[in-house]
Structure 1
């Protein structure tokens, strides 16, 4: 399984510094932001919440990736809303393709199933122009697609070859999903997985703050070993463990990332041949 370092695990760093960090902790990939919807910007300061690879930064970012032998797994993020014109994502896809991204992340916010399926189809077609696969993430905070079953339904309804499910451990647990539910989904429908840990196995839609303060693998209650074993063999796995509090406690993003990646590698190694 390829191990990727997600930008939000070291959100204090710009993309080039994240690439260097990923190389130093032994990751094969990074996940970077090439588009951020306006709704994700603060109302007043206008400050971008996530470091962004802009068209102007493509050359320097690609140079850093090539220098360190790091690939780009996912490009974030391209949501489907009721009124979205997917053409607004073209520039973000162009940047993603230019830096060699394999997948682009999407979420479904549109409560109208037929319209959402049509929108996802158009997004798939646009992504295909750039040789990108879509990873559809289900979340309790997006009621239109709030379970792994719903994500599988959307992928099957869209009927495109370049879309699959992105399984985030936090979202799986908080939406009531289990590793057994992952096993019920055909292996061909998965795009990637993301691992972190958390306290308790309760189901809730109110976990936005927890999404940005996650626990290191092994520190919480999530059934991570069973989850990873339920995933298809060879699937890419992202280390997505944002936590400004823990980074401050550990002293540096490097120390925190090294710990997060080390824990993740131990987890993957312990699974051995259990993965399907």
Structure 2
């Protein structure tokens, strides 16, 4: 059971601020009490990053300095996409940069179904994933697999099957409550996942209406809700998930799209704290 939702124990995902400046994100995270933050090193979409880090030593130095000054550690770096034409060795530079920044985890995802007509075979995906895990292990990094209905690792069963087939000790599941909800996952299914197989947990909430497949990426990248403001059975899910894995706040909210980076981080912190207080009260009432 997860009971500790203190902001100092939480990480804030880069997606919450829509890919903003990494130094500014770390500084804002520190100002608002977050203990960690996630950074984007590789794009998962068909457009370049707005803030490049790899190959820019001055940016790496600035991120490390901000982390040291604020006490906000870099928790995870993303995104490592399993797609055709990619060799595991091509991930090495990003992995090295992530390790230099102090990250302990990386995010691995499948190929997006929308707009693509070329996909890896099951064996090719397994081989590439195993190679990524081996490359990551050389840098002391843990690989989290995030399932999404609109990618070719579409659900929790597929992600766990990939992890089990690879047999790498440094691989686990990214449990994003939005994607779990949109694949109609139940608390009983969440409870059945071995704690050792959960890399980390991403928290948000979602509206009642379920988007069509082509609308799911839009929701995931900019249409989430703050915890406690939607219909996801967060209390029931948190009751059965293990307390050990890192909790990450990932809340790109459509109504906040025009806010500044600092304002988005402050809102995420405020709403996370509000949800934590409400959950604590509910747990006390149940005791």
Deviation readout 1:6-47 (Å, 9 max, x if unpaired): 11212363111111111122111101012225x431xxxxx5
Match of 2:116 in 1: none
2:108 aligned to which of 96, 106, 109: 106
Greater RCO, 1 or 2 (C-alpha within 8 Å, sep 6+):
2
TM-score normalized by the length of structure 1: 0.88
Determine helix, strand or coil for the equivalent of 1:76.
Answer: strand
Determine helix, strand or coil for the equivalent of 2:201.
Answer: strand
Aligned-pair RMSD on alpha carbons?
A: 2.3
Match of 1:265 in 2: 276
Preserved CA contact (<8 Å) 1:247 1:256: no
Alignment of 1:14-53 (within 5 A): 14-37=21-44, 39-41=45-47, 48=49, 51-53=51-53
Post-superposition offset of 1:185: 1.3
2:139 aligned to which of 124, 130, 135: 130
What stretches of structure 2 of length at least 5 have no aligned partner? 112-118
2:174 aligned to which of 147, 162, 166: 166
Match of 2:158 in 1: 150
Distance 1:134 1:271, change over 3 A: farther
| Distance (whole Å) between structure 1 residues aligned to residue 278 and residue 234 of structure 2 | 8
Distance 1:90 1:137, change over 3 A: same
Distance 1:30 1:272, change over 3 A: farther
1:9 aligned to which of 3, 13, 16: 16
Distance 1:258 1:111, change over 3 A: same
Distance 1:36 1:268, change over 3 A: farther
What stretches of structure 1 of length at least 5 have no aligned partner? 42-46
Post-superposition offset of 1:201: 7.0
| Distance (whole Å) between structure 1 residues aligned to residue 46 and residue 278 of structure 2 | 32
Task: Verify: 1:194 aligned to 2:196, yes or no.
Answer: no
Task: Verify: 1:230 aligned to 2:240, yes or no.
Answer: yes
Q: Which runs of 4+ in 1 moved over 6 A?
A: none
Match of 1:44 in 2: none
| Distance (whole Å) between structure 2 residues aligned to residue 130 and residue 249 of structure 1 | 36
Match of 1:180 in 2: 188
| Distance (whole Å) between structure 2 residues aligned to residue 135 and residue 67 of structure 1 | 28
Preserved CA contact (<8 Å) 1:175 1:203: no
| Distance (whole Å) between structure 1 residues aligned to residue 211 and residue 186 of structure 2 | 11
Match of 2:114 in 1: none
Distance 1:201 1:73, change over 3 A: farther
Preserved CA contact (<8 Å) 1:192 1:235: yes
Post-superposition offset of 1:91: 1.3
| Distance (whole Å) between structure 2 residues aligned to residue 166 and residue 267 of structure 1 | 25
Distance 1:21 1:249, change over 3 A: closer
